[in-house]
Chains A and B, each alone.
Chain A
Amino acid sequence: MQIGKVIIEDEFAEAFRMWAARVVVTAIDDHWLRIATSEVCGYGTSVIGCDAEAGVERFLSPDETLDGRPGASLLFFAFNADGLRKAVPNRVGQCLMTCPTTAVYDGLPDVIESDATARIDVGKKLRFFGDGNQKSKVVEGRDEGTKGRRDEGNPINPQSAIRNPQSHSRRFWRIPVMDGEFTCEETIGAMKSIAGGNFLVCGRDQRSTLDATKAAVDSIAKLPDCVTPFPGGIVRSGSKVGSRYKGMFASTNDEYCPTLRGIAKNSKLREGVMCVYEIVINGLSEAAIAGAMKAGITAACGHDIIAISAGNYGGKLGKFHFKLREVMV
């Protein structure tokens, strides 16, 4: 398969089940918002070595946020809900509560506790920083919330008439800090999701390959329900599972390292490929990842590159397989 002159390899991306939480952060202006997002998403590239994978899903205009200030929607991924229960309050507490003017809200307010979803205590934990001076504010949900997920299949009948009247209200903790109050929603919604969607951009040199990969990241950034958690959305140190050294869970993906051409067993580099960058995509659904891969690959193929490939482990580790040639149909 080719798109223009770019070869789409017959490979597939192997992705894994993970859990995601969506956090909305707001701040007084764009400057402090970007500082807040870069801090809280820092050291959030791979769960190989980080407590969570994190990224900015999109920036929000004041009209889109609860408090009418500039905001950003962030996604955090961990192996399970318990992982998020540690990582999210830690990151919010250390990186957002400390950052001037920020406030933190739930990005998945309709999510309730179930096998596939969870509520993560955030404000509920952080409120104790107020040392007894904290207080909360309960605000009813949006109008459309009354038609939300919780009401589906719940037509008007005597039972629904006595439904929990608090079901659409949200509690926000107000923690006194030195510039006013840090407002943080009591809990944050989390749900089963997918991490590890990916593709490899194979080019002739660093500059041209990086430009093509950045174009792909920019294209993916416009899409909802997914993030690219690595620096600038790009990985240069793609990895394989295992190592010749004890205690190493992952090591360099030698099959795609241009300096190991002819040295590594089964090098997968085509003739002329001297630089490879990977984009890893985490998303809330298979459709979100497939859509992001398609958008990213399409954008990259508009540049002077040689091939697009994907990283996998032979299909033995990940439950979700995204075949490049199917994604691009």
Chain B
Amino acid sequence: MSGYTLTWKAGGEGQGPGAMGQGIDGASLRPDTLGVLDRDAVARVDLFAGQTVVTLGDLFDIAGEPGDCLTLRNTPPLDHLGALMQRGELIIEGDAGDNLGASMAGGLIRVHGSAGARVGGPHVTSRRGMSGGEILIDGNAGDFAGFLMRRGLIAIGGASGHSVGYRMIAGSIVLMQKPVDHPGLEMQRGSIVCLNKDALAGGGRHLIEGGVISAGAMPALLLVLRRLRELRWPVDGPHPKSLPGGEGAGAGIDLPRIAAGKWRLWSGDKFELNKGEVLQWLS
């Protein structure tokens, strides 16, 4: 897939608050808007750091050509990366800041690192979180991942912070590690899927325990995991044998193993619509 690669200049040519990435709003770094511009126009794109404006060319070396893919290298964890994005693929070779993919509507974000708080949450211009698209994070995610998400998929390879899926309206969140607390608090619909059988998902009086169920009894769950396998996630890093991602790196989701397996099911939030679900893979 063609597109631009933006490599952060060490220290940044621009002086002031943007030089080290402090306070820079990364909302302009979107494949769908930058991918249609020529290289000179990309260099002239404004980035905001509070009331200071710097141009993209001041902070990044730009390589590549117009296209659907945008790759960020050596970038400090900027906030709002991929916010409001509608299509294309954003690859972050490093960490992302807060509000990754805020109110995005489509496309794919891959983070080969960790992300900050409110992954897929609402943008300042919206009352809802992401309404489509996919966010795949190899590392950890901060608090409130999936806050108010309306649709789409978030996958977190490492640890997730507090209250994953808080007030989610719908969509899917897949976790490779145990949620810290209260997954799906105040969720209306949607699925939170924990693929680590050693972890204990659930936990919270807002959820209703539904017992153990065969994966084949819920084919929709398999569709989400199939999608992750198509995206070859997770592809990097060590995967403990306790995970159905295979026993080694690069194996991706082992769908037949999951399809034949068992899941623990919780429904919730019982104080809301009660159409959400939290699932933990058992065997």
* CA distance in complex: A143, B1 (Å): 11
Known: A62-B259, A143-B230. A165 touches B133 (CB 8 A): yes
Q: B222 to chain A: which residues have CB within 8 Å?
A: 66-69
* CA distance in complex: A143, B170 (Å): 22
Q: B133 to chain A: which residues have CB within 8 Å?
A: 140, 165
Known: A135-B275, A158-B36. A174 touches B220 (CB 8 A): yes
Chain A residues bordering chain B, tally (CB within 8 A): 33
B194 shortest CB reach to chain A, Å:
17
Mask, B94-118, CB within 8 Å of A = 1, is 0000000000011100000000000
A64 shortest CB reach to chain B, Å:
11
Q: B151 to chain A: which residues have CB within 8 Å?
A: 138, 169
Give the residue name and chain of the B residue nearest to A69 (CB).
B259
Option from B32, B170, B172, B219 in Cβ contact (under 8 Å) with A67: B219
Mask, A1-31, CB within 8 Å of B = 1, is 0000000000000000000000000101000
Known: A67-B259, A138-B151. A101 touches B223 (CB 8 A): no
B219-260 CB contacts (< 8 Å) to partner A: 219-220, 222-224, 226-227, 230-231, 255-256, 258-259
Stretch from A82-90, A176-184, A227-235, A304-312 that touches the partner: A176-184
Give the residue name and chain of the A residue nearest to B34 (CB).
A161
* CA distance in complex: A97, B81 (Å): 43
* CA distance in complex: A161, B151 (Å): 20
| Chain B facing A: main interface SS | mixed
A107-148 CB contacts (< 8 Å) to partner B: 135, 137-140, 142-143, 146
* CA distance in complex: A165, B258 (Å): 30
Q: A162 to chain B: which residues have CB within 8 Å?
A: 32, 86
Option from B107, B224, B259 in Cβ contact (under 8 Å) with A139: B224
Option from A68, A163, A166 in Cβ contact (under 8 Å) with B132: A166
Q: Please determine whether A161 and B223 come into contact, CB atoms closer than 8 angstroms.
A: no
Q: B33 to chain A: which residues have CB within 8 Å?
A: 161
Known: A156-B68, A165-B106. A103 touches B219 (CB 8 A): yes
A266 interfacial by beta-carbon distance below 8 Å: no
A157 interfacial by beta-carbon distance below 8 Å: yes
Q: A146 to chain B: which residues have CB within 8 Å?
A: 68
Give the residue name and chain of the B residue nearest to A103 (CB).
B219
B87 interfacial by beta-carbon distance below 8 Å: yes
Mask, B127-148, CB within 8 Å of A = 1, is 0000011100000000000000
Q: B255 to chain A: which residues have CB within 8 Å?
A: 62, 68
A172 interfacial by beta-carbon distance below 8 Å: yes
Q: B90 to chain A: which residues have CB within 8 Å?
A: none
* CA distance in complex: A135, B259 (Å): 21
A68 shortest CB reach to chain B, Å:
4
* CA distance in complex: A142, B232 (Å): 12
Kindly list the 10 A-B residue pairs having the minimum CB-CB distance in the complex, ordered from nearest. Answer: A180-B217, A165-B106, A68-B255, A67-B222, A103-B219, A183-B219, A165-B105, A137-B220, A67-B219, A165-B86
Known A137-B224, A183-B219; further 11 A-B contacts with Cβ < 8 A: A68-B256, A137-B191, A140-B133, A156-B35, A156-B66, A166-B132, A172-B223, A180-B217, A180-B218, A181-B220, A183-B223
Q: List 14 A-B contacts (CB under 8 A).
A: A26-B219, A68-B222, A68-B226, A69-B222, A101-B217, A135-B189, A135-B275, A137-B223, A140-B134, A142-B230, A157-B36, A166-B106, A172-B220, A180-B214
Residues of A at under 8 Å CB distance from B? 26, 28, 62, 66-69, 101, 103, 135, 137-140, 142-143, 146, 156-158, 160-163, 165-166, 169, 172, 174, 179-181, 183
Residues of B at under 8 Å CB distance from A? 32-33, 35-36, 66-68, 86-87, 105-107, 132-134, 151-153, 170-172, 189, 191, 213-214, 216-220, 222-224, 226-227, 230-231, 255-256, 258-259, 275
